Amino acid sequence: MRDMERKSQLSWWGRQSLCKRVTLILVPVVVVVGLAVGLGVGLAVGKDSDGESSPSPTGPFPTSTSPPGTLWQPKVNSTWQIILSNPLDLSPDATSVDPDVSIYDIDLYDNSQEIIDTLHRLDKKVICYFSAGSYEPNRPDSDDFAEDDLGLELDGWPGEMWLKLGSENVRSIMKKRIALAGSKRCDAIDPDNVDGYQNENGLNLTAEDSIDFMRFLAKEAADHGLSIGLKNALNIIENVLNITHFSVNEQCAEYDECEDFTPFITAGKPVFHIEYPEDVPNVASNVRSELCQSAGNAEYEQGFSTVLKNMDLDGWVQFCDGSIAETALDTPNSD
């Protein structure tokens, strides 16, 4: 979650805000390590050597892959779609999903086990979203929070309040959410609103509170076989880079902050980057180019996985190569 001045501009989902295995072999072997060459700004969809959809390579980035038995580490410039407004409309016998990207970031509660299983069958990785640092009144476990857990209301979001990150009760609830993500066979979690320290939170939250909370979330996630991302919170990147597997960022191009997120790229970890152009869904080509180039003006920023979205984070998406897709959603008006 950004600071309060920017809070009202954030998306719906913005509020809802390894050990190596070394195999010993008695027979001498020669290991040839091929450095991956290329990954570019444009997100034209293809298939990489691991079966993941990925853009056409344009030049060198560190890569992170996971040996068997370790947590999933997505690759730099992996293609993705983010949908949090409604559950996906995806039948169990679906033969495809649009767009054909390698990763879907979807709401933990709204999407059924069946949808997650279908995405996996279609060779997609699934990141499951929930708000870790804020109380939302309409979640299934909302009644589990105590009055002492709650701080001030998030600016622009009636009924949503900052959480006391050190509260044992709050952490117990988050343990259950992470366990749910594990039981639903998500590949990773996207815990939002871990940056209360940047806002008037009413709880005297500090950056150290967020760092400690992220360490707690990362351990719980790992215990359930889940990777974890850092949402925004650019001030604590250096403190949690070693325990997170990717970044989820909103509007770094608009606010000239993209360079702050390059440590992820340098470490071989992707930055899943969203911009919200005002003229969606009719984004002018010069606007698209400016936003995409703004996320590519430093040595490694061209590795960002950039998507253009509505602030509702519905099924519509545009990529930096100009291609547009719309994922079918199960909306209240659907038959």
Compute how many other C-beta atoms are within 10 angstroms of the C-beta atom of residue 327.
21
Task: Find out whether 314 and 331 touch, Cβ atoms under 8 Å.
Answer: no
pTM confidence score: 0.81
Shortest CA distance to 129 belongs to which of 68, 74, 85?
85
Task: Tell me the β-bridge partners of 326.
Answer: 316
pLDDT at 69 (0 to 100): 59
Q: Nearest-CA neighbor of 140 among 164, 106, 109, 161? A: 109
Q: Backbone dihedral region of 193: left (phi > 0), alpha (psi from -120 to 50 degrees) or beta? A: left
**Distance from the Cα of residue 33 to its chain's centroid:** 29
Digit-by-digit pLDDT tens for the chain (335 residues) are: 544 444 434 433 344 443 333 333 333 333 333 333 333 333 334 444 344 443 333 334 444 444 545 899 999 999 999 999 999 999 999 999 999 999 999 999 999 999 999 999 999 999 999 999 999 999 999 999 999 999 999 998 899 999 999 999 999 999 999 999 999 999 999 999 999 999 999 999 999 999 999 999 999 999 999 999 999 999 999 999 999 999 999 999 999 999 999 999 999 999 999 999 999 999 999 999 989 887 765 444 468 999 999 999 999 999 999 999 999 999 886 55
Residue 270, both tokens: 């992707």
CB 210 within 8 A of CB 164: no
Alpha-carbon distance of 202 to 147, in angstroms, equals 13
Assess contact for 143 and 168: CB atoms under 8 A. Answer: no
Q: In what order do the strands lie in the sheet containing 134-135?
A: 134-135, 161-163, 150-153
Residue 96, both tokens? 């495809």
Closest Cα to residue 288, out of 41, 53, 57?
41
Q: Which amino acid is at 2?
A: R
Taking the C-alpha atoms of residue 125 and residue 326, their distance in angstroms, rounded to an integer, is 18
Query: Which two three-digit tokens encode residue 302?
Result: 């061209």
Indicate the pairing of strand 305-308 with strand 316-319.
antiparallel
3-class SS of residue 263? helix
Of the CA atoms within 13 Å of residue 234, those in its CB half-sphere come to 17
Pairing between β-strand 125-131 and β-strand 134-135 as defined by DSSP bridges:
unpaired
Beta strands in 157-312 (DSSP E): 161-163, 188-192, 227-231, 246-250, 271-275, 305-308
Number of alpha carbons in the 13 Å side-chain half-sphere of residue 84 = 25
